[in-house]
Structure 1
Amino acid sequence: MKEFFGLLKKGSRSALWASIINAVLAVIKGITFFITGNVAMFAELMHSIGDSANQLFVFIGSALSKKAPTDRFPGGFARLVNLVLLGAVLIVGILAYETIVKGIHHIMEPPGSGSWFWLNISVLGIAVVLESFVLFKAMKEITGDLGKDIKGFSIVTESFKNVGDAKPATKLVFLEDLVATVGALIAMIAIVIGTYTPFIQAEGYASVIIGLMLFYVVGRIFLDNAAGILGVSDEDMEKKIGDLVFEEPDIKDIRTLMVIREGDELHVELKVELDPNKTVGEADKIRDNIEKKILNEKGVTEVIIESDVDDHVQSWNNPKTSK
């Protein structure tokens, strides 16, 4: 139990914050829905329940994935976070389906104009503020992983540019809270339209739109984490490490280079070609220098390097010779 709580300290903080805030929002939205019966509020209630449960699982999964390898699992637990996220998206998928069904029912059989306008608007306004807070924390986590001092509005623009390279847990929080913030705004607009115009089906359409956005998150997260479980290669990091290896003047060629992403971790397997006149001791020193450089890269936890003599057949594009 002590080890478990120790691992929880290493979990994704953005996921923990998101889970707590969405749980609070789910309670507030649930009370509001039972008072008002507003279908747009129901969609937002389903969204907050799904997000809270999801992000709690993500927090626990991201923490447990940091567990050290054991005799039974010598490969470690890095891919556990991908497995947890695959389970988490099932919850979102079910709630997205319920949200769409409720919205279609509202469109087909719209009730009379509802009351409690200001209560609905106030609750959704609070939701926008709190979801935006969590979204911004996820943005800061994404930009923080870039290793640059990014401040101000650049945090927003850079997070959108680099969300594809974010950690699995952070990416899920980012996508879910982006959809949640936009969804709350759509629900507010729909309530205004349904209250002050004859278009009373607006709230039903809003519910359907929110449900479809949730399905987008399901698809995106499912594909990313299915690839993560299989062990997806990181092509951008392969190119970066390839250029890094060729900074060593004694490297003649790279025969093979693989960078496999497992959860938040990167595993590097590399085979380089050296001058045949190099001694064993010199070759070991070259490999040690390369290993230190690669381990300094963000997310790299394991490096396996083999070496062989130069076969004079270029296998990898050498940036020094291509200039």
Structure 2
Amino acid sequence: MKEFFVLLKEGNKPSLLAAIVNTVIAVLKGIAFFFTGNVAMFAEMMHSIGDAANQFFVFIGSALSKKAPTTRFPNGFGRVVNLVCLGAVLIVGILSYETIVEGWHHIQHPTKSGGLLITLGVLAIAVILETFVLYKAGKEVLHEAGVAEAKGLAPLTQGFVHLNRAKPATKLVFMEDLVATGGGILAFLAVLIAHFTGFLQAEGIASIMIGLMMFYVVGRVFLENARGAIGETDEQMLNHIAHLVVDHQDVKDIKKLSVVKEGEYLHVELVAEVDSSISFARADDIRDHLVDLILNQQGVQDVIISFDEDDGITHWKHVSNRPDSLPPV
């Protein structure tokens, strides 16, 4: 149990912050729905409950993924965060379905809800809090992508550009809170339209749209974490590491290079061709240098390097034009 609490300290902080904030928001929306019966508020309440549960699971999963390899599990626990995310999206999927069903019922049988000021007040507070979490998640995305500290609106605008370089947990938080912020604004507008125009179905339509946005997150997160659980090649980092290796004066060619992403970490395996005349001591120095160089790249957890003699044939043709520099850890 002590080890578990130690691991929790290493958990994804944006996930924990988002989980706490969404729990508070869910309680506020639940109280507002109880007093007003507003269906758009119901949709938002379900959305916040789903996000809070999801993000708590992701926080715990990201912490457990930091557990050191054991004799029984020598490859470590990096993929745990992917498995937890896959389980967590099932909760959001169920809540998404219930949100859409409730919205459809309201469209068929529209009813006027009360407590306009309570509804608008809670939704406004929720949007402000969700935007705060989204901003924090955006900053974490840029940090994990190695972008210099961003100021102003950069975490919100540049977060989209670098989202693919973020860790699975951070990416999920950013996407969920982006949809949550948009859903809150949509619900706010629907309540105003229903109240001032008498078009009561607007709240039901908003509920369905919020449910569909939640389903989009479910689909996106499921596909990305399914790839992570299987283990996929990180093409950008593979290209980057290939350039670092071929730039070494003693490396003649790359016979094999794989950069596999598991959870938040990268596993690198390299077979490099060198001149057959070099000594074992020199080969060992080359290996040590390459290991240090590659381990210093962002997200790389372990490196396996072996050598083969240069046969004069170019094997590695995968390297494209030099990419933008990726930052070290």
- Deviation by residue 1:228-265 (Cα, 9 ceiling, x = unmatched): 11111101100000001112111111011100111111
Matched ranges for 1:110-129 at <5 A: 110-111=110-111, 113-129=112-128
Residue type matched to 1:52 in 2? A
> Does 1:305 find its partner at 2:305?
yes
Which digits, 9 at most, give the CA deviation of each residue in 1:273-319, with x for residues without a partner? 00121111111111111111100001101000011011111122497
Distance in 2 of aligned mates of 1:80 and 1:93: 20
Tell me what 1:134 maps to. Answer: 133
Q: Which residue matches 1:221?
A: 221
Root mean square deviation of aligned Cα: 1.5
Name the structure 2 match of 1:51.
51
TM-score (norm 2): 0.95
Residue aligning to 2:189: 189
Deviation at 1:209, TM superposition (A): 0.3
**Do 1:66 and 1:77's aligned partners in 2 also have CA atoms closer than 8 Å?**
yes
Deviations 1:154-194 (A, max 9, x none): 22222110112210100110111000000000000000001
Residue 34 of structure 1 is matched in structure 2 by 34
Aligned to 2:326: none
State the distance in 1 between where 2:24 and 2:320 align. 56
Name the SS of the counterpart of 1:206 in structure 2: helix
Contact 2:144 2:165 (8 Å CA) reproduced: no
Distance across 2 between alignment mates of 1:91 and 1:250: 53
Answer yes or no: is the 8 Å Cα contact 1:143–1:150 preserved in 2. Answer: yes
Distance 1:321 1:84 in 2: 37
| CA distance in structure 2 between the partners assigned to 1:9 and 1:99 by the alignment | 34
Q: What does 1:29-108 align with in structure 2 at a 5 Å threshold? A: 29-108=29-108
Q: Tell me, yes or no, if the aligned pair for 2:269 and 2:305 is still in contact at 8 Å.
A: yes
Quote the residue 1:147 is aligned against: 146
**TM-score, reference length from structure 1:** 0.97
Measured after TM superposition, the shift of residue 114 of structure 1 is 2.4
**1:227-238 aligned within 5 A:** 227-238=227-238
The count of residues paired between Structure 1 and Structure 2 equals 321
| Matched position secondary structure for 1:261 | strand
Q: 2:126 corresponds to which letter in structure 1?
A: A
Distance, in Å, in 2 between the alignment partners of 1:194 and 1:307 is: 71
| Residues 1:272 and 2:272 aligned together | yes
CA contact (8 A) 1:246 1:318 kept: no
SS at match of 2:303: strand
Shift, 1:115, TM fit: 2.1
Could you say if the C-alpha distance between residues 26 and 296 of structure 1 is closer, same or farther in structure 2, counting changes exceeding 3 Å? same
Stretches of 4+ moved more than 4 A in 1?
Answer: 318-322
Which ranges of structure 1 fall in alignment gaps of 5 or more residues?
A: none
What is the match of residue 325 of structure 2?
Answer: none
- Taking a change above 3 Å as real, the CA distance of residues 120 and 320 of structure 1, as seen in their structure-2 partners, is closer
| 1:310 counterpart letter in structure 2 | D
Partner of 1:199, secondary structure, is: coil
Contact 1:253/1:318 (CA < 8 Å) preserved in 2?
no
> What does residue 160 of structure 2 align with?
160
CA distance in 1, matches of 2:164, 2:107: 36
Deviation at 1:29, TM superposition (A): 0.5
